[in-house]
Amino acid sequence: MLTPVAAHRLAGLLIRPVAWGAGLFCLVGLFLGLIEPVADGDPAVMSKVLLVSIPATWVSVLLFLTLAFWAALGLILELRLPYLLVQAVAPTGGMFTFLALWTGAIWSKGATGVWWSGDARQVAELMLLFLYVTVVGIPVLVSDSRRADRMMAVLAVFGAAYVVLLFFAMQWWQVAQSDALAGEVPPTLSAQGGIAVLSMTIGLWMYATVAALMRLRQIILERELASWNNTE
Amino acid sequence: MLRIFNCILRRDLLIAYRRKSDVLTGLIFFVIVVSLFPLGVGPEPNQLRQMAPGILWVAALLAAMLSLGRMFSFDYLDGTLEQMIAGAAPLGIIVSAKILAHWLVSGLPLVVIAPVLGIMFDLPGESLRILVISLIIGTPVLSLIGAVGAALTIGVRGGGVLISLLILPLYVPVLIFGAGGVGAQASGMGGDAHLMLLGAFLALSLLFAPLAAAIGLRISLE
C-alpha cells in the first residue's frame, strides 16, 4: 500500500489523462444521445434526461461500493491511505446521488406524471443520499480525526450492505405488487441510446475519479501537514 | 455465556427500573406525537384510517431514536463500559443483553400502547392485529440497528444530530415494510409478505448488529 506522499504524486500524475478521458467519453455520449431519442417511445425532451439520470445513478451506487471497499480495507489493514480515500470520494458520491435524484424525478414526472413515485430506485437513492451526507458530516462533527475515520468506515461498510439489501428487497416488493400499483416502467433503451448512456457512464465515472483524486491530494496536504506541525 | 447474558440483562433492567423517568419519556413522547396528528389533520375518519400505520410507525421510530442515547452513555460515564470491553467476556454477548434490555424497556411498551392509540384512528381489528405484529417484529430491529449508531457516537459532541443522521437511513426499510404491511392488509392484498420481509430484517440484524455494535464500541473507546 502506498504512503500518503507517494499517493499524492500518483494522484497528480493520473489527473490529467483521466480528465481528458472523461471529457472524451462525455462528449461522445452526449453527441450520440442528443441527435436521436434515447429510449423507445419517449418524448424527445424526457429521453435526454435519461442520458444524465441513468449514468448518475450507476456512478453514485458504484462510488458508494468503492467507498465501502476502501473503508473495509482501512478497517482490516489499519493503514492511513484507505481512510483518506474514503474521505476523498464521499462528497463526489453525494453530488452524484443528488444529481441522480433530481434528474430521476424529472424523468419520473415525464413518465408517470408525479415527481416522486416511490419506486425502488428512488427510495434507494434517497437513502444513499442520507448515508453520503452522514459520511461527509462525520469529520465535521467529530474533532478526533482517527475516531472520525473509523466511524466513517464502519458506517460505509454497514450502509453499503444495507442499501444493496434495501434495493433488492424493494424491487422484489414492487414486482410482487405491480398489478396493484401503477408503478414506474423502466425505460427501454434503443441501441444507439444504450451506447450513449454507457459512454456517459464511463465519462462520469472518470470525472468522479478526477474529482476524488484532486480532493485526495488536498486532504493529504491538510492532514499530513497537521500531523507534522502537531496541530491535529 | 448464558450467565453473562442473564447477568447483564438483569443489571440493565434494574437500572432502567430505578430511572423510570428515562423510560417514560420515550413512551410519553410516542403518545403525544401520535395524539397530535388527528388534531392537526382533522377528524375525517377515512383520512385518519389511511394515515394511521404511517403515523404510528414514524412516531415509534422517533421514540426509539430518542431512547438510544441511554443504551451506553451511563456505563460510559462511570467507566463500566471500559471494563466490559477490556474484560474476558465476549463483547457481543454483553451488547446483545443490553439491546434486549433496551427493547424490553423502550420498544415493548410502544407495542403495548399502539393498539390503544390505533383505536383513536378508527383502525379496524384486523389492521390493529397486523400493526401489533409488525411492531413486535420491527421494534427489536430498531433497537438492534440503533445500538450500532449509539455505539459509534458515544461521547461525541454533536451526538444527537449524529445519531439521527446515522440511523435514520437504516431505519427507513423497517418503516416502509412495517407501515406498508398494515396498508396492504387494509387494501386487501394481505400484509404477510411485508411481515416476512420484516422478519428477514430481524434475522439479519440479530446476526450482525451486536457484532457491528461491539466493533463500534471498541472504535469509540480505544
| Reported confidence tier of residue A231, pLDDT bands at 50, 70, 90 | low
Task: Using a CB–CB cutoff of 8 Å, tell me whether B202 touches chain A.
Answer: no
Q: Maximum CA pair distance of chain A?
A: 64
Long-range contacts of A170-178 (CB under 8 A, 24+ apart): A170/A119, A170/A120, A170/A123, A170/A124, A170/B173, A170/B176, A171/A120, A173/A120, A173/B177, A173/B180, A173/B193, A173/B194, A173/B197, A174/A119, A174/A120, A176/B193, A177/B184, A177/B189
Cell of A29: 455520449
What local confidence, expressed as pLDDT, does residue A69 receive?
92
Residue A79: count other Cβ atoms within 10 Å of its Cβ: 14
Which chain A residue has its CA at the smallest distance from B153's CA?
A151
Stretch A115-125: mean pLDDT, rounded? 76
* Candidate from A141, A154, A159 with C-beta closest to B162: A141
Interface size, chain A vs chain B, as Cβ–Cβ contacts under 8 Å: 72
How far apart are alpha carbons B128 and B125 in whole angstroms?
5
Task: Judge: B173–A134 Cβ closer than 8 Å, yes or no.
Answer: no
What local confidence, expressed as pLDDT, does residue A43 receive?
57
Give A181-196 pLDDT, tens digit per residue. Answer: 444 455 566 677 778 8
Task: Using a CB–CB cutoff of 8 Å, tell me whether B211 touches chain A.
Answer: no
What local confidence, expressed as pLDDT, does residue A98 receive?
92
Per the listing, cell 424526457 goes with A46
Residues of chain B with pLDDT under 50: none
Give A22-72 pLDDT, tens digit per residue. Answer: 888 888 888 777 776 555 555 556 667 777 888 888 898 889 999 999 999
When scoring B65, B145, B162 by the number of chain A Cβ atoms within 10 A, the one with the most, hence best to mutate, is: B162
Is the confidence at residue A177, as pLDDT, over 60? no
Task: Judge: A141–B166 Cβ closer than 8 Å, yes or no.
Answer: no
ipTM for this model: 0.73
Q: How far is A49 from chain B (nearest CA, A)?
A: 27
Which chain A residue has its CA at the smallest distance from B165's CA?
A134
Residues of B in contact with A134 (CB under 8 A): 162, 165-166, 169
Task: Using a CB–CB cutoff of 8 Å, tell me whether B93 touches chain A.
Answer: no
How far apart are alpha carbons B112 and B102 in whole angstroms?
15
Stretch A127-155: mean pLDDT, rounded? 85
Is the confidence at residue A157, as pLDDT, over 90? no
Per the listing, cell 392484498 goes with B189
What local confidence, expressed as pLDDT, does residue A179 receive?
44
Task: Judge: A154–B172 Cβ closer than 8 Å, yes or no.
Answer: no
Task: Judge: B152–A154 Cβ closer than 8 Å, yes or no.
Answer: yes
How far apart are alpha carbons A196 and A193 in whole angstroms?
5
Q: Find the angle CA(A48)-CA(A50)-CA(A55) to the nearest 5 degrees.
A: 125
What local confidence, expressed as pLDDT, does residue B168 receive?
84
User: pTM here?
Assistant: 0.79
Label residue B90 exposed, middle or buried (CB < 10 Å: 0-12, 13-18, 19+). middle
Residues of B in contact with A141 (CB under 8 A): 156-158, 161-162
When scoring A141, A157, A165 by the number of chain B Cβ atoms within 10 A, the one with the most, hence best to mutate, is: A141
How far apart are alpha carbons B156 and A41 in whole angstroms?
53
When scoring A158, A167, A175 by the number of chain B Cβ atoms within 10 A, the one with the most, hence best to mutate, is: A158
